[in-house]
Amino acid sequence: MTWLVTGGAGYIGAHVVRALLEAGLPPVVLDDLSSGHREFVPSGVPFVQGSVLDGAQVLHVLEQHHVTGVIHVAGFKYAGVSVQRPLHTYEQNVTGMATLLAAMAERGVDRLVFSSSAAVYGTPDVDLVTEDTPKNPESPYGETKLVGEWLLRDQGVAAGLRHTSLRYFNVVGSGDPEVYDTSPHNLFPKVFDALVAGRTPIVNGDDYPTPDGTNVRDYLHVADLAHSHVAAARRLDDGKPIEPAYNLGSGDGVSVAEIMAAMSRVTGIVFTPEIGPRRPGDPARIVASGDLAARDLEWAMRHTIDDMVRSAWEARLAHRD
């Protein structure tokens, strides 16, 4: 019952590895360390530095470690940058998926949990996104995640692959002080970097049609997210019915202003964020229903916003430069 975690040295993948260990499912990690960190992989977990684009190496890992399932987290995840680097994004996310699926088919590995994204929806015109909300990705990143889901669907028909895709928005917090979000593009790291450097954080727009004028999003604790990845893996192992895709969402969302207030409250650093211009194409509100995942994948919002901020801040300070 060994599970391969592609991208298992990254922020989300490393939490998935820890959740697998807690569930008694032995993991093995494949990561090219383009954005991951070797030190994020727990001691004793087999680690292979390599890319899902290298089909021979993927096949070798599947064979050598007797892999029975894959949690596919690896990929190029920066939506904004993907607009400037579409070919790279498609290579990493689409060619990478096709190469991984080919190796799995050759080895007879027939179960996969895919780390997809709510970016497949683009800017929905509904208050609450469900799995059936129309897909209209607005970046190469979102497009490649949707194509990845199509590849899984088609391989399921062609080869009997059992699979599910997990779609989620803003992943924050830390479930282990050894692992923290190092992305230069995400809200929490950007705010923390500003606070550590003595700068005032910036909010992009405060004139949206929301209760306080700032964007409303789903902020999810990474440990809760990892738990449902493992619940999906176990459901596939047990042969239980599973949906092709699940939203991992809060159902109500939190505004950027509320996040800023929590950051000030938790860190003890009193600040009033600067108001910058809106980011082009940034919708006022995107919030998803997690009802299906709650039914099947043990999905729950187990952490408050203060919990999310506190765990992320403590992990950040543990690695302060």
**Could you list the active site residues?**
141
Contact call for residues 203 and 273 (beta carbons, < 8 A): yes
Residues 6+ apart with CB under 8 A from 241: none
Beta strands in 107-228 (DSSP E): 111-115, 162-168, 170-172, 202-204, 216-217, 219-221
Distance CA(121)–CA(130), nearest Å, equals 10
Backbone angles phi, psi at 135, to 5 degrees: -95, 125
**Residue with tokens 């506190």, as numbered in its chain:** 310
Cα→Cα distances 84→48, 81, 87, 139, Å: 30, 5, 9, 10
Residues 6+ apart with CB under 8 A from 130: 247, 288, 289
Helix (H, G, I), strand (E, B) or coil at 55: helix
Distance CA(147)–CA(119), nearest Å, equals 12
Helix (H) or strand (E) holding 15, with range, is helix 11-22
Q: Which of 20, 54, 38 is nearest to 62 (CA)?
A: 54
